Structure 1
């Protein structure tokens, strides 16, 4: 099996696509805060728009896997990027209409993101084995960088040209920058058909991985969706809130690359456990006491790092346990299980915030949402430790 070569070109192409595909949702918090400030809807409703788009990555995973096999990765890449760009442009016409935003930014952009995610998250595994974790980490790291750049860019655009033109400019940028990248996408081997492999439901490792990772998705979008709003509750400016979100995404990018490389050193399952533990500690021990800027920055960096590690290690875990030939099928099934966490994770946090007085009630109103998110990370860690125990016969805390 080759190690690199044209694979690094594929990694670069997938990285550009993921820059926008995942980065746009990880910068949604900036747009959410602006729309909330303009009284378009409550925070929980606006969080639902972002989470709906992300949840389609899970709801349509198996269908997208089949479409990619039928169309080929390159054509699927063009179609996915077109949907992402057009969805943002159409959102400009719905900037004062919540229902319209659910359709354009939730469904259309979400479908494009789903197909992009399936193309880019599994393709590097065809070109790498020994450096698979690093390759996946680079692709997912670009998503974190995208979230950072888009967070600051969106806030700047919102201040200068307003919501509608911000959507338009982002949409045209997606098409202009991702279409050239799609030209270099190339599959090394024919993908297995994404389907439901029923025999996996009798495999304890798969069940623990599917349940554990599904539980782990509930807290993932809570910090990026609510950081700008939380910063505002501390009396910080909207621009500083967008900078904090950018710091989160940069840390997420570093976490994706670092944990991807860690997979190659101490094993992907161990790396995933470390990422979940870091997320849980930051949510339970640091965010609840972040009543000023300095501890909030510490939380932002640590949680972003663990958050990014979750995403970059999962494909490597699947490939490690089931091999590159079955990775499309198994990853699609695991990804489908993330639907509830993606769809409901951040809205539940929003409902908890509203139930305790809303963003205007001060930082104490956020603590129930923080504890909810942290407890889900702890639960996820327990399931993944179970996977690790079943995968290796060595002691639980030896590298595997």
Structure 2
């Protein structure tokens, strides 16, 4: 008598068993899918992985409430350290020579390089344990570095490698967890989370610049280590997992190679490779005055070729460009402050807009398009403060939007059932941009004559930045069309 009532459930189980291992039982991912009956959804699961929509990992999402927003707050605090703490001591340690630029490069590249291993650890042991371990390692980096602040080798191990590994263990749980608590407001949640990185960057830059002048480098490192721990330990402790754990061995592949047979993933992956070259930048406000003064001095042309790895497009080029136009160091500081504040606001604003109007991937494409257009049109022609301010605000907003929208774009295309694996693979594509984007721009500027040659020398590097952004935009657009040819659809 009860058989007819259980048939949809049985069919769903059958579909789940014969489908790919990374496609869980049918849970609708879109409003259109939620309107279909269980028989239709089950039959849809019989499609091969390349043509099937990856499903959401959970049956329901809080999409708000105290617990969900507490997770966002904690993850944002974590990112304020593991994103905002990168490279803040690099310029203060420049007396050790040009090789100190590698310290910041290792810190930055470790996030992408360790994304896949961190994903496996989070799946096996949970985000809380991994983030707590990362808290201790991250704090140990500058603390131990304070005892070898005059040794490049010692700082490479402590400030570079140790901090880099620790912040990677914090970053991955914090960057992915909000997507498991929110569905309709997923992009807003991730935007608020990523905004913590911008706030932390501004705060730690100011803190380090003040402390270095008052207590010196060793004690600055010790104080920042304590601040790191005071922020990340309670934030990590309250992180709460929503997915069951998977064994370290036999818990599924760390890399889903079948994704490379999906052209949507391939174009999204390659788009990240090219986007990070112009978008990524390290900034240390403590060094701004020295950088600008060197750029303006006719007898000191070595700033660009001496520290090429510190140059980034456009955050670090803005003060140098302003200096080449004859503007004061204060103007350069204000431009950079405007860029960073707009970046933090853009992470939240684009997240809100993506949830309400455009969708994650559509907003992602818009960010890259506006970045490329403003870089090609406004920046090269800006010879006064007003257009530079407009460029800094607009470009900063879309720069921040790009990073905060990536989790939502991954979830929009592939769901959250295998989100950690998919996002980890996408994040690994950022490694070339983290490590090579800034040096390439620096060498292009040097080849054009350097900052001493005037603002015209910046144009080749500016066009390099804009061209890569537009190339990335084209790749994401192809992924969008492959997902749906209906251009009005929110994706």
Common topology (TM > 0.5): yes
Q: Measure how far apart 1:165 and its partner are.
A: 3.7
| Equivalences for residues 342-361 of structure 1 within 5 A | 342-361=434-453
Structure with the higher helix share, 1 or 2: 1
Alpha-carbon displacement from aligned partner over 1:308-353 (angstroms, at most 9, x marks no partner) = 1111111001111111121001001111111111111112122223
Which of 128, 133, 138 is 2:182 aligned to?
A: 128
Instruction: Please give the alpha-carbon distance, in whole angstroms, between the structure 2 residues aligned to 1:235 and 1:85.
Output: 41
Structure 2 contact 125–245 (Cα < 8 Å) conserved: no
Alpha-carbon displacement from aligned partner over 1:347-385 (angstroms, at most 9, x marks no partner) = 212222333344444433433222211111011000000
1:260 aligns with 2:351: yes
Q: What RMSD, in angstroms, separates the aligned Cα atoms of the two structures?
A: 2.5
Q: Measure how far apart 1:237 and its partner are.
A: 6.2
Q: Measure how far apart 1:263 and its partner are.
A: 1.8
Q: Name which structure has the greater RCO, CA cutoff 8 Å, separation 6+.
A: 1
Match of 2:459? 367
Match of 1:22? 83
Which of 51, 54, 73 is 1:12 aligned to?
A: 73
Q: Aligned in 2, Cα 1:53/1:273: closer, same or farther, shift over 3 Å?
A: same
After superposing the two structures, state which structure 1 stretch, 76-85 or 337-346, moved more. 76-85
Q: Measure how far apart 1:231 and its partner are.
A: 5.0
Q: Aligned in 2, Cα 1:206/1:305: closer, same or farther, shift over 3 Å?
A: same
1:83 aligns with 2:132: no
Q: Measure how far apart 1:151 and its partner are.
A: 3.0
TM-score scaled by length of structure 1: 0.89
Match of 1:219? 278
Q: Aligned in 2, Cα 1:362/1:385: closer, same or farther, shift over 3 Å?
A: same
1:301 aligns with 2:393: yes
Match of 2:110? 56
Instruction: Please give the alpha-carbon distance, in whole angstroms, between the structure 1 residues aligned to 2:188 and 2:127.
Output: 21
After superposing the two structures, state which structure 1 stretch, 363-372 or 199-208, moved more. 363-372
After superposing the two structures, state which structure 1 stretch, 205-214 or 346-355, moved more. 346-355
| Equivalences for residues 196-275 of structure 1 within 5 A | 196-220=255-279, 221=281, 222=312, 223-230=314-321, 233=324, 241-265=332-356, 266-275=358-367
Q: Measure how far apart 1:244 and its partner are.
A: 3.9
Match of 1:190? 244
Corresponding pairs, count: 392
Q: Aligned in 2, Cα 1:235/1:53: closer, same or farther, shift over 3 Å?
A: farther
1:41 aligns with 2:101: no
After superposing the two structures, state which structure 1 stretch, 233-242 or 78-87, moved more. 233-242
TM-score scaled by length of structure 2: 0.73
Match of 1:170? 224
Structure 1 contact 54–113 (Cα < 8 Å) conserved: no
2:85 counterpart SS class: helix
Q: Aligned in 2, Cα 1:195/1:281: closer, same or farther, shift over 3 Å?
A: same
